[in-house]
Amino acid sequence: MRRLRLLAVALVVLFITLAAAPTAAFAESAAARIGGPALAGLSLARLGQKPVPCRNPPAHGQSLPAAAPRDPTIARLGLDRAWDLSTGAKVTVAVVDSGVDGTQPKLRPALAPGSDFVTTQTPPGWQRLPGGLGDCGDNGGTHGTAVAGLIAARPDDDDRIIGVAPRARIAPIRIVDGVQNASPEMIAAAIRKGADLGQVLNLSLALPVDRPAVRAAIRYALDHDVVVVAAAGNESSNGDSKWYPAAYPGVLAVAALKQDGTPLTESNRGSWVGIAAPGDRLTALAAGGGYTTVSGTSFATALVSGVAALVRSRFPDMSAAEVVHRLTATAVPLGAARDDRVGAGIIDPFAALSAQSAAVPSDPGRSGGPAGASGRVRVLPRQDQTAGIVDRWGTLLGAAGVLAVAAALAYLGRLALLAARRRRKRPGDQEPVEEPAVDPPDVRLA
C-alpha cells in the first residue's frame, strides 16, 4: 500500500512539472530539430506547413476592367494555334523566385508541392521547408506570382488572361527573404530542388558573378535532363559582362523585347543571349488577386519557360538539350542570323511545336557551343522564314507538284495529237475528220 502511495505522489509531481513548463520550451525544441534557435518564433506554424510570413507582403493588384480586351500577348505569340498542338499538360515548371500566391484563382489549380528556403543563423545558413506559397516580392512586389501566371495561368474564370502553357503545373521554390539577400549556397540549393521537381526550371534572376555553387547546381539540373531558362538581366549591359545563371553553358538565356518588337533598352546583351520574348508592359497576375503590369527579362523568361513546357508536353521523349535547340532553331531572327541583343531571335511557339528540326549538336552546353555563342546550341536557318511552318508549306508544295505534273502530261498529249494530224494530212490524201481539240485542264492554285 505504501509503495502505491509513493507511486501516486510521483505521478502527481510529474504532471505538475509538465503543466508548469513554458510552452516556448517545446517551440525551442522543435526549432532546434528543424534548424536551430533562429526559427523558434515561427517553428510551430512551419511544422504545420503554414505559409511563412513575408517581411514585405505584396500589394494587391487591380481589377481587370469589364471592357478590357484579350491579352495581346496571346495573338503576338500565336498561342491560339499553338494550343491546338499542346497546352503543357503533364509538365511541371519549377519557379525559383519570391513565391506564388496560392489563393490566386488562375493559379490555384496549377500549383504542385513546393519548398521554402529560409535564412538561419546556424550552418549551412539556410533551411529548406515544405511550402512555396505566399509571394515575398522585394519591396512589396509580386514577382513570383506574375512569373507563374505568365507560364501557366488557367483560363477558367476569365479567358482574356491565359498563361502560355495553361495546363502545365507550377512548383514554387520560394526564397523567403528575397533572392537579393540569399547566399550563393542557398540559391544553389533552391536550383537543385527545382531541378528535382520540374522538367522545366524558370530562373528569373541574375547574378553578376560566377559562383561555383550556383554553377554546380546548374550542372546538376542539366545532368538531370531539365530545361533551364534564365533571365539575361536588366542592367543595360553592352556585352562587356556576363550575368548568371543565364551565361552558363546549356542555359537558355532570355532577352526582353518592347511592344514594337525591338530589344528592351534595359535588357542585357552578349554572345551568351540565346533567345528573346516580349517583356514590356505585360499584364500579369498579382498576389492577393487582381492584375498588374510588369516589364523586364524576368517576365520574358516566363514566356519562354511556358513555350518549353508546351514542347516538352508534345514531345515527352525529347531531351532537354533538344528542346532548347528546337526553340532557338525555330525562332524568328531580327535581321542577321543571330544578334547579341536577341540571340537567335523571337520565340515562335507554333513553329517550335510543328516545324521539323535538325538533330541537336552533340554534347551541347559542355563543348561551349558555336563560336561567339558561349555555350549556346547551334541555331539552324528555318526552311521558311515567312511562315515558319515547314509542314504546312510542304503539304502545299506537294499538292502543287501533283497538279503541275497532271497539266504537263495533258499538254504533251495535245502536242502529240497535233503532230499525228500533220503526218496524216498530206497532198492527195483524204481530208481527215476534224476531232474536238483537247485542252489542258483548268489548273488554279489558291
Catalytic residues: 97, 143, 298
| Cα→Cα distances 96→93, 151, 194, 336, 414, Å | 10, 13, 7, 33, 72
Distance between CA atoms of residues 266 and 281, nearest Å: 13
Nearest of 238, 208, 250, 246 to residue 368 by alpha carbon: 250
Distance between CA atoms of residues 370 and 360, nearest Å: 12
| Beta-bridge partners for 229 | 202, 252
Spell out where 247-318 has E strands: 252-257, 275-278, 282-285, 291-294
Is there a contact between 236 and 264 (Cβ–Cβ < 8 Å)?
no
Tell the burial category of 420 from Cβ atoms under 10 Å away from its Cβ (0-12, 13-18, 19+): exposed
| Beta-bridge partners for 129 | 116
- For the record, the C-alpha cell of 50 comes out as 503554414
Return the half-sphere exposure (C-beta side, CA atoms, 13 A cut-off) of residue 98.
27
Task: Give start and end residues of each alpha helix (H) in 335-441.
Answer: 349-354, 390-424
- For the record, the C-alpha cell of 182 comes out as 540569399
**At which residue does the C-alpha cell 476592367 appear?**
65
| Cα→Cα distances 446→397, 400, 407, 443, Å | 12, 10, 16, 10
For residue 430, the 8-state DSSP code is P
Is there a contact between 90 and 316 (Cβ–Cβ < 8 Å)?
yes
